[in-house]
Amino acid sequence: MFFAAVTCLGVLFAVINAASLSPGTCSIPDGQQSLVTGLRTHLVNSAILQTSPDPSVLVALNLAEALDLCMKTQLVEKIKETLVEKNIQEMTSGKLALYVLAFRSSCENPEDVTTPQNTVNLVNVLEEKTKEEINYFYDHGTLKTTYYQLALGTLALCVVKSLDVEEASIILAKAALANDFEFGGHFSVDTGAVASLALTCVREMSKIQQREVMKVIEEALAKMSKQTLGEQQSNGIIGNIYSTGLAIQALSVTSEFYNLGAWSCVKTKEKVLHEISLGAFNNPAAAAQILPSLVGKTYLDVRDPTCSSGSGSSITVQYTITNALVGPSFSYSIIVNVPEGSVLLTVLNAAQCAKPNEFSFQTEQTSWGPMVVSIHKIQASTNEKTYWQFLSGKTPLDQGVGSYKPMNGEHIVAIFSRY
């Protein structure tokens, strides 16, 4: 069971801007914006349904400006709960880096993450893990984990302006120049892309000015750009469909290192949009990796996060809860705005955010998805044969709150009932 009991105001909105990435114009055509909007809404819905959302999902939604303050606060609290349950010291540097990026992109300080149990400085922990990785490399000539993990950790540390990135960036740059990102004769697009983002960030840090460091970083960026472009397929995919999102990010920030005609961003995005229509990105992790590139963002944008509420296409839903079975009878009604395509659970969350005293609720996870077991502190009971019945107007719903998608102007009614 999870408790969605965060008190906040506002409703869930989202905004999708036409993406414009270097080189040249690479915007999403108006006729295909609905695919990006649908992917964003799908990712929001999945985040709501997950009791422990992956931090990469929160990063992607923040970069897409898909969350208002209320929903962002709820997801941040879920992320914090996950940190309490896990042993931070046993996390890989890459996973820890995603948590740092998630908090930073949410306008939260990753150096001061407060939970009911304690306060954690995630940046310090990541710095320590990065130093362990570096020391292991110097002692054994190889990494303790992988270059992908080191690159992600370096990127996160650079985003929060930690000065403990120089040695790690040198190791990454020299590894790139030595072709250490190749596996089975093929360049690892994922590793190269994250390393390119990390090294670009380090290169742009004003406090790291050593000429020798800049020279090796720039040589590595030029080589990785060439290798990434070498993994292009004729249909525009770079590496494979799931590495393409990171490749778009990397190529968009390293365009000075390759010729304008070397990459057709338009062709790449056309293929990605086609794959979205086929359901290739239904998995939240896959959706989170591709979404930032479709809205013209990269992980480097986490350096300057957008800290205002989103806005955009939405629908209006009236939601009423009624009880005449037990205790004092009541009936409360509210009108909320949610993104078009949202599941009913999003409506319940929006109502709770606006008026938590009236519309608080609890769910239990079942094999059929989340089931509402309590509204306004009135608990369903198998012994009493009571439950919360959901209707559209006067028609009972045949789907659960995690599946049913209300229409604009619809009236959803929850009635405490007996079977």
Q: What DSSP letter does each residue of 110-137 carry, written as one string? A: TTSEE-SS-EE-HHHHHHHHHHHHHHHH
Q: What is the pLDDT of residue 244?
A: 97
Give the pairing of strands 186-187 and 182-183: antiparallel
Q: How many CB atoms lie within 10 A of CB 248?
A: 26
Q: How many CB atoms lie within 10 A of CB 229?
A: 17
Secondary element (H or E) of residue 395 = strand 395-396
Name the DSSP letter for residue 89.
Answer: G
Q: What is the pLDDT of residue 200?
A: 97
Q: What is the pLDDT of residue 1?
A: 33
Name the DSSP letter for residue 256.
Answer: G
Q: What is the pLDDT of residue 237?
A: 97
Contact 291, 15 (CB under 8 A): no
Phi/psi of residue 381, each to 5°? -145, 125
Q: Three-class SS of residue 5?
A: coil
Q: What is the pLDDT of residue 83?
A: 85
Please list the pLDDT of the chain residue by residue as tens digits (419 residues): 333 333 332 333 333 332 334 444 588 998 999 999 999 999 998 998 888 889 999 999 999 998 877 888 889 888 988 887 888 888 999 999 999 999 999 999 999 888 767 889 999 999 999 999 999 999 999 999 999 999 999 999 999 999 889 999 999 999 999 999 998 888 999 999 999 999 999 999 865 567 888 999 999 999 999 999 999 999 999 999 999 999 999 999 999 999 989 999 999 999 999 999 999 999 999 999 999 999 999 999 999 987 755 545 788 999 999 999 998 999 999 988 888 889 999 999 989 988 889 999 999 988 888 999 999 999 999 999 999 999 999 999 999 999 999 999 999 999 999 99
